[in-house]
Chains A and B, each alone.
Chain A
């Protein structure tokens, strides 16, 4: 797993107005690796993924995908780079003007010009993998529950079998059994399809199950990066507090002024 890194973040800075969200994030993510980012709510995990995807532009720093700079590339080149990615958004972000199956098949039909019939078959296949049947395929996304929407969004992210998968809280809002099905699916995408995965999660059980390596984001920096097996002996007070979910420790919640 130590060939050329798939994704390299070098000293990424991003702020909104006066609010500094990312303050020098540096990390290498290897090809075929499953990487998990943990961290408190509002610490900038989703922003990190959006910076890599070019949906937000960092003020400073450099992001390399397969060794090529992606910050500030022109739109047409960006479309090419995007073909490598599949993204599950935290809020699902399904197209509510299209039925479920067209949502899943969207990347196949638009990006890869697959014909509708084949794309539909493929979409049904992916929906089955996330535990959704044929009857759901014709519904509109607004007719689904939150957890079902999340699973459709997951099916959409993996439909084109991209090289790099980003999952923003893939198991939030799912029951424990379905969460485990999704965990297995993510592991399968990485192990069998050889994809590189970056996931964000608050669910430590899921994080341990799907990740090869973990990183913890706190105050705009990665305060700890290491193999999943080491997370319990991390000897890092932030990580320690986070994985045990304790209210007191070095991470102060902003509720106690």
Chain B
């Protein structure tokens, strides 16, 4: 059991190494990177946006009722903005994208594997790592920070809506206290996390798809594995990164 796990990690690490190597070496398929960026970045906007706005809203509501117990309602805006940018933006966007994109990648590449399309690529002198894996890794790495930035803005806006229109804070004061206590590091750390998560989502989607076998069932299994392992890795690395960033 433990040995299996180690073997899995080893294979994943080798896969990641080979994939990164091929990201850096020509030929680089810019058209494919573009398509993937559109798929990951643009078409994930609705899902990520909805998640973010409701998270921001509920965050404002909860911290308001919580802080009211010791008359610290003034901190609501700050709490919303810091939790959104540092933690909830990257983690929730990462988890949503893992479900949407990681699964799609595993299913597509897995189907290509079991129908011998990956073998066909090789016989046409095209390296599957360059053609399939590298564009997805690059797009994941580049687009997740963008999505998280959007999620941060929408989430904070959601908090503002609840704060200003439901809880009766002064809109100007709310915006001020959001802004005043926000440090660049809060946002930057969130974006760095996002880039790492984007890489992990694409990596696990491609890895599981690439090694899937055994027809439709195998592809289904690969898809599940991609989403579950990406989600777990996102939560684990999130803790590690937070510890690294804010460990004083």
Contact = CB atoms under 8 A, between A and B. Distances in A.
Interface residue tally of chain B, by bracket? Answer: 10 to 19
A94 B112 CA distance: 9
B119 interface: yes
B1 interface: no
A93 B114 CA distance: 9
Interface string A151-192: 000001000000000000000000000000000000000000
B123 A53 contact: yes
A110 B126 contact: yes
A91 B126 contact: no
A35 interface: no
A55 interface: yes
B125 interface: yes
A218 interface: no
Interface in A81-124: 82-83, 85-87, 89, 91, 93-97, 106-107, 110-111
A87 B125 contact: no
A171 B124 CA distance: 22
A219 interface: no
A87 B118 CA distance: 13
A54 B122 CA distance: 9
B116 A91 contact: yes
Tell me what chain B mostly uses at the interface: helix, strand, loop, or mixed: helix
A111 B125 contact: yes
B117 interface: yes
Contacts of A106: 124, 126
Contact of A95 (B117, B125, B127): B117
A82 B119 contact: no
A1 interface: no
Contacts of B127: 75, 79
A208 interface: no
B126 A55 contact: no
Interface residues of A, number: 25
A12 to B, nearest CB: 18
A102 to B, nearest CB: 12
A144 B126 CA distance: 25
A76 B117 CA distance: 19
B173 interface: no
A82 B122 contact: yes
A121 B52 CA distance: 49
A79 B116 CA distance: 17
B115 interface: yes
29 contacts: A53-B119, A54-B122, A55-B123, A78-B122, A79-B125, A79-B126, A79-B127, A80-B125, A82-B122, A82-B123, A82-B124, A82-B125, A87-B123, A89-B116, A89-B119, A91-B115, A91-B116, A93-B115, A93-B116, A93-B117, A93-B119, A93-B120, A95-B112, A95-B117, A95-B121, A106-B126, A107-B124, A110-B126, A111-B126
Interface of B: 108, 111-112, 115-117, 119-127, 131
Given A55-B123, A106-B126, A107-B125, 10 more contacts: A53-B122, A78-B122, A79-B126, A87-B120, A87-B123, A93-B115, A93-B120, A106-B124, A107-B124, A156-B124
Interface of A: 50, 53-55, 75, 78-80, 82-83, 85-87, 89, 91, 93-97, 106-107, 110-111, 156
